Amino acid sequence: MKRFNLVVMCLVVLGLVASATLVQAAKKSIPNANVEGKWYFTVVTPTVTGNPVFTFKQDGNKLTGTYSGKLGEADVTGTIKGNDIKFQFTTDPKAGPAIYTGKVDGNKMSGTIDFAGKAKGTFEGDKIIKK
């Protein structure tokens, strides 16, 4: 019986150590990339290419901003977690949103676009750096 209690106690201690390790790892998560500012994009779909300009404002994980391009102008909303970014806008409510999903790497980002399930494309973006 004493041996059983010792084994149980060891398992409890190991569980507590593992939990503490996971909490510490979560605290050391990757900080959000800084995307605030103006970005120049190249968008490619099977039927058209374009070069929209996005302006982002960032508050923690929350993104807001504007889109200006071939589809007109629109407000942008989205999120960023570490280097993962997702944002969208709608210029025509009947057509649905354009949803951008990608990765940020310093002053560059790239990924895919889903035009409300009707078309897909890719994008690459460069942050416009003021000199």
**CATH number (domain holding residue 87):** 2.40.128.120
Q: What does DSSP assign to residue 58?
A: E
In this structure, are 10 and 70 located in the same domain? no
In this structure, are 56 and 18 located in the same domain? no
| Residue 10, strand partner residues | none
Give me the pLDDT at residue 29, please. 73
In this structure, are 41 and 22 located in the same domain? no
| Residue 44, strand partner residues | 49, 122
Is the pLDDT at 91 greater than 80? The verdict is yes
Domain around 68: 37-127
- Mean pLDDT within 92-106: 95
Give me the pLDDT at residue 30, please. 83
In this structure, are 56 and 95 located in the same domain? yes
Buried b (16+ CB within 10 A) or exposed e, 16-48: eeeeeeeeeeeeeeeebbebebbbebebeeeee
Give me the pLDDT at residue 7, please. 53
In this structure, are 53 and 25 located in the same domain? no
Give me the pLDDT at residue 96, please. 94
Model pTM?
0.78
In this structure, are 92 and 109 located in the same domain? yes
- pLDDT band of residue 17 (cuts 50, 70, 90) is very low
